[in-house]
């Protein structure tokens, strides 16, 4: 069988990958989108984090473009109200997320991908990336086995920098990653009938017996009544696992389900909770942090917190610093009034690479900056920016760092993005 040739191969169809692939294909690139799951959306669909944020700050919209278009189409389909971008906010994330129906989001994304001519390969993963004279050979694994593809540009949107690592470029991994969370939905109980103090007493005893752990409910060493009042959601913390590769991913999935089961067993024994029911909200454990690339440029905490306007900024980002440290607790810092951080082109380019780009939560950044810029709206914006660079690299036969910034920005604006 002859090897298929592509202008751009996007690996991962999460918030970043969707926007990358759509940007490439809408500008005429022959685009392949490879996704290990059977559904696009990444954490939106697979991890139950169906409330992308943050598109706005200080009373104006900061992120638009393809990501916002998909979110808006989903809101319009369900008749949900559009967010009010004129709300000034307080530098935190409060009230700024946009709840969407994940299933319809994925259906809309499928439709847009097909309309744009993207070749979607679900249930497929890359096994190897080898450089060629003018691009990459990818060894892909589908359900029927291995096959090869060639692509001029590869865009890593895996959330774990899997493609960048396979291509042999160094990445950063923290000694201990932030905990993951397995989203669930809890019902069939009356919150008003619960005795919080009695629950706390029983919880302390169950922790002492090793039946349940504080992390199973979230941060606090106390019984987290918020877990019940919030109907579960993503309160739990699955600690101490780096889920960047299949072994880590397997470990975190198993640990997540065991954690939920411990909670279920504990709650069922408590008065008022005998009939409590747990429902699946996501097939996978949500992963906050694994790897970031080492880019031509790196966004630091100082850059992010001061709202540094990088000379080669391609998009804005907005979120408070939000590092979930399993040992130290939550490092949460509101951004000072008026601060709107930016993401530079160099953070999307693995240092010294050619024909290789990265987008989403893996962009080159230190841990604290990453704890903010990992959110979905920023991932969408970096995804679109990587797609725009792929288009221009192909058109001008050059590397991403050689592109005229004005050309990248003009292309992004043509597709509705807000360029800082």
Q: Mask of contacts with ligand FAD, 176-205, x by CB under 6 A?
A: -----x------------------------
List Cβ neighbours of 280 (8 Å cut-off, separation of 6 or more): 184, 185
CB 209, min distance to ligand FAD, A:
28
Q: Which is nearer to ligand FAD, 183 or 342 (CB)?
A: 183
Q: Contact between 315 and ligand FAD (CB under 6 A)?
A: no
Q: Which is nearer to ligand FAD, 141 or 207 (CB)?
A: 141
Cα 79–83–84 angle (5° rounding)? Answer: 130
Q: Which is nearer to ligand FAD, 13 or 392 (CB)?
A: 13
Q: How far apart are CA 169 and CA 152, in angstroms?
A: 17
By DSSP bridging, strand 4-11 and strand 145-156 are parallel
CB 418, min distance to ligand FAD, A:
17
DSSP one-letter code for 179: P
Q: Are 180 and 166 in contact (CB under 8 A)?
A: no
Q: Are 182 and 263 in contact (CB under 8 A)?
A: no
Q: Contact between 97 and ligand FAD (CB under 6 A)?
A: yes
Task: List binders of ligand FAD among 321-350 (CB under 6 A).
Answer: none
Q: Contact between 15 and ligand FAD (CB under 6 A)?
A: yes
**Number of other CB atoms surrounding residue 149 within 10 Å:** 21
**Number of other CB atoms surrounding residue 23 within 10 Å:** 30
CB 183, min distance to ligand FAD, A:
7
Which two structure tokens, joined as six digits, stand for 145? 């086995």
Q: How far apart are CA 166 and CA 170, in angstroms?
A: 10
Q: Contact between 233 and ligand FAD (CB under 6 A)?
A: no
Q: Contact between 49 and ligand FAD (CB under 6 A)?
A: yes
Task: List binders of ligand FAD among 124-153 (CB under 6 A).
Answer: 125-126
Q: Are 15 and 158 in contact (CB under 8 A)?
A: no
Q: Which is nearer to ligand FAD, 234 or 342 (CB)?
A: 234
Please pick, from the candidates 65, 83, 218, 286, the single residue that binds ligand FAD as defined by CB under 6 A: 286
CB 112, min distance to ligand FAD, A:
16
Q: Which is nearer to ligand FAD, 123 or 269 (CB)?
A: 123
Q: How far apart are CA 166 and CA 144, in angstroms?
A: 22
CB 37, min distance to ligand FAD, A:
4
Q: Contact between 36 and ligand FAD (CB under 6 A)?
A: yes
Q: How far apart are CA 126 and CA 161, in angstroms?
A: 12
Q: Mask of contacts with ligand FAD, 238-277, x by CB under 6 A?
A: ----------------------------------------
Q: Which is nearer to ligand FAD, 12 or 102 (CB)?
A: 12
* Helix (H) or strand (E) segment spanning residue 264: helix 246-268
Q: How far apart are CA 400 and CA 388, in angstroms?
A: 10
Among residues 295, 279, 272, 264, which one has the least CA distance to residue 359?
295
Q: How far apart are CA 251 and CA 267, in angstroms?
A: 24
CB 339, min distance to ligand FAD, A:
18
CB 16, min distance to ligand FAD, A:
3
CB 270, min distance to ligand FAD, A:
25
Q: How far apart are CA 350 and CA 358, in angstroms?
A: 7
* Rg, Å, the chain Cα set: 21
Omega of the bond prior to 54 within 30 degrees of 0, cis? Answer: yes
Q: Which stretch binds ligand FAD (CB under 6 A): 39-47, 143-151, 214-222, 403-411?
A: 39-47
Q: Which is nearer to ligand FAD, 151 or 181 (CB)?
A: 181
Which two structure tokens, joined as six digits, stand for 411? 């292309």
Please pick, from the candidates 8, 9, 10, 16, the single residue that binds ligand FAD as defined by CB under 6 A: 16
Q: How far apart are CA 399 and CA 225, in angstroms?
A: 53
Q: Which is nearer to ligand FAD, 15 or 346 (CB)?
A: 15
Residues engaged in binding ligand FAD (CB under 6 A): 11-17, 34-37, 42-43, 46-47, 49, 51-53, 97, 125-126, 157-160, 162, 181, 234, 286-288, 360-361, 374-376, 379
């Amino acid at each position: 069988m002859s090897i298929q040739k592509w202008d751009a191969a996007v690996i991962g169809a999460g918030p970043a990958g969707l926007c990358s692939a759509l940007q490439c294909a809408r500008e005429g690139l022959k685009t392949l989108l490879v996704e290990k799951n059977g559904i696009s959306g990444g954490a939106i669909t697979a991890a139950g984090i169906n409330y992308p944020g943050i598109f706005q700050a200080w009373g104006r919209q900061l992120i638009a473009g393809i990501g916002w278009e998909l979110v808006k189409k989903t809101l319009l389909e369900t008749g949900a109200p559009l967010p009010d971008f004129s709300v000034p906010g307080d530098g935190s994330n409060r009230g700024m997320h946009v709840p969407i129906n994940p299933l319809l989001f994925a259906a809309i994304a499928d439709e847009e991908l097909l309309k744009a001519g993207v070749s979607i390969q679900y249930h497929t993963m890359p096994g190897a990336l080898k450089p060629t004279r003018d691009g990459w050979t990818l060894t892909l694994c589908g359900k029927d086995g291995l096959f090869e593809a060639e692509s001029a540009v590869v865009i890593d949107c895996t959330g774990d920098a899997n493609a960048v690592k396979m291509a042999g470029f160094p990445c950063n991994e923290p000694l201990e990653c932030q905990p993951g969370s397995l989203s669930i939905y809890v019902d069939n109980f009356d919150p008003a009938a619960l005795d919080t103090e009695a629950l706390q007493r029983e919880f302390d005893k169950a922790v002492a017996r090793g039946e349940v752990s504080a992390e199973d409910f979230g941060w606090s060493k106390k019984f987290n009544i918020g877990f019940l009042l919030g109907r579960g959601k993503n309160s739990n913390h699955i600690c101490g696992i780096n889920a960047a590769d299949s072994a880590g991913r397997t470990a975190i999935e198993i640990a997540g389900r065991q954690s939920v089961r411990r909670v279920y067993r504990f709650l069922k024994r408590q008065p008022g909770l005998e009939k409590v029911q747990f429902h699946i909200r996501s097939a996978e454990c949500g992963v906050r942090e694994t790897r970031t690339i080492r880019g031509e440029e790196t966004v630091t905490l100082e850059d992010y917190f001061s709202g540094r306007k990088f000379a080669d900024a391609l998009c804005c980002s907005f979120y408070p610093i939000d590092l979930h440290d399993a040992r130290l607790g939550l490092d949460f810092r509101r951004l000072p009034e008026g601060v709107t951080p930016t993401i530079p082109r160099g953070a999307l380019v693995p240092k010294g690479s050619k024909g290789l780009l990265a987008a989403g939560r893996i962009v080159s950044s230190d841990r604290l900056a990453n704890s903010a810029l990992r959110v979905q709206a920023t991932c969408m914006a970096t995804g679109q920016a990587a797609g725009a660079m792929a288009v221009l690299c192909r058109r001008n036969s050059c590397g991403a760092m050689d592109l005229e910034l004005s050309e990248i920005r003009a292309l992004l604006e043509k597709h509705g993005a807000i360029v800082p």
